[in-house]
Structure 1
Amino acid sequence: MLVNESNLKYKLEDVYILSTGVFYFFEEFIVSEINEGVHFNWETAQEVIELALNHYGRDAKISYISNRVYSYSIEAQDWLKFFKSRHNLRTFAVVTYSKSGLINVMMEKIFFKSRIKTFENLHDAADWVAQYHPTVRTNTMVL
């Protein structure tokens, strides 16, 4: 399910449509929908990281939901560059809709320094992430 087809109850602050995908910035978490066929790596992630730092501030502890509705590739070992650059996430959730998607997450877990939680639907992922952010308000999202 795409974010714009959902009725997430969390406060949407901004939407960024980039060449790599669409990034929804909620109060304290981001939901990404990477475009079909994209190879997402450290270089392509830089634009999103800068947007997040400018939006939330450099010291913010945000969460990230990867809503994997399309087929694309990830440079899993680039998570090491993310952490080496002293970036951090409060939580990381992956919504996957296929068995091959679960296998890809298992590969990512090798390089990701924290826990990755997988979900079969976007609403459950957003609810899980929100529980780690006590200031998140539940307002109906309107797209």
Structure 2
Amino acid sequence: MRFEEYINLSEFSHKKIQLSFGKFFICDHFVVAELNHEIHVDWSIIQKIANMIIEQYGYSKKIGFISNKVNSYSIDPYVWVTFSKEYDFIEAAAIVWYNDAGFMSATLEKMFLKNSVKLCETLDEAVLYILNS
């Protein structure tokens, strides 16, 4: 389910930001990312995401991050190692998967993230996890 279709969407004030590689929904305490189909996420894309988040929240606010894998895409898992060294604004993360390939990708990503990460089967599960972290 896309964030724009989320049944509890009206409970969250949010701002939608469209970048060339995906949509981002900026809420008060978390970001929902929906990356485009068949892109490859490398360090340059991660930097653009991080800069966009810092521009929205500032340098000191800790936030939650939800990767809503509604599309199939690839990611270099080592970017998370560098990300953890460069940036320190993610307090907790959730990855929502919708099929076996998404689950395998999410499991691999989780191994490289230093933050608390929960693999979720629904967007609602991810939002509740982030709000309670």
- Report the TM-score, using the length of structure 2 for normalisation: 0.92
Off by >6 Å, runs of 4+ in structure 1? none
Q: How far did residue 29 of structure 1 move?
A: 0.2
- Whose helix fraction is larger, Structure 1's or Structure 2's? 2
Matched, 1:98 2:99: yes
Deviations along 1:89-136, one digit per CA (max 9) or x if unpaired, are 11100000012211112211221112320111111111111123xxxx
Alpha-carbon distance in 2 for matches of 1:18, 1:62: 20
Q: How far did residue 9 of structure 1 move?
A: 4.7
Alpha-carbon distance in 2 for matches of 1:40, 1:12: 28
Between the two proteins, the alignment pairs up a number of residues equal to 132
After superposition, the CA RMSD in angstroms is 1.3
Report what 1:40 is aligned to: 41
State the structure with bigger RCO (CA 8 A, min sep 6), 1 or 2: 1
- Within a 5 Å distance, the mapping from 1:62-141 to structure 2 comes to 62-132=63-133
Alpha-carbon distance in 2 for matches of 1:22, 1:123: 18
Report what 2:2 is aligned to: 2
Q: Could you tell me whether the CA contact under 8 Å between 2:21 and 2:36 is conserved in 1?
A: yes
Query: Which runs of 5 or more structure 2 residues have no equivalent in the other structure?
Result: none
Query: CA 1:86–1:17 in 2, change beyond 3 Å: closer, same or farther?
Result: closer
- Report the TM-score, using the length of structure 1 for normalisation: 0.86
